[in-house]
Amino acid sequence: MSFYEDIVRKNITPHIDFPDSPVWIYGNYEAFNRIIQNILINAMRHGEKILELGLKNDGKKVYFYCKNDVKDIEEIV
């Protein structure tokens, strides 16, 4: 959550839905960390007011999701 202060400073309201218990993911830590950082940076850069982050675990797979509103979708494409 190193981006939390930047998100709040931009007046984006974060909604976070992570499970209370730990979620273990096997893989390349640096690559995973970089992907999450890129997603959050893009959400802050292009987002307007809402940011939703969540983790879902079905017992076999873990799903990460990020939803945000954007002011101008054409700017991103």
Q: Which pLDDT score, from 0 to 100, does residue 44 have?
A: 83
- Closest residue by Cα to residue 23 from 66, 56, 65, 72: 56
Burial of residue 33, with CB atoms counted within 10 A of its CB: 0-12 exposed, 13-18 middle, 19 or more buried: exposed
What pLDDT does 4 receive? 80
Q: State the pLDDT at residue 77.
A: 59
Phi, psi of 75 (to 5 degrees): -65, -30
The tens digit of pLDDT for each residue in 8-61 reads 888 888 899 999 988 888 889 999 889 989 988 888 888 888 899 999 988 888
Q: Structural domain boundaries of the chain?
A: 4-76
Q: What is the pLDDT of residue 1?
A: 62
pTM over the 0.95 mark: no
Specify the higher pLDDT residue, 73 or 16: 16
Candidate CATH numbers 3.40.50.620, 3.40.50.2000, 3.30.565.10, 3.40.50.720; the one for domain 4-76: 3.30.565.10
Q: Measured on CA atoms in the order 12, 13, 19, 20, is the torsion positive or negative?
A: positive
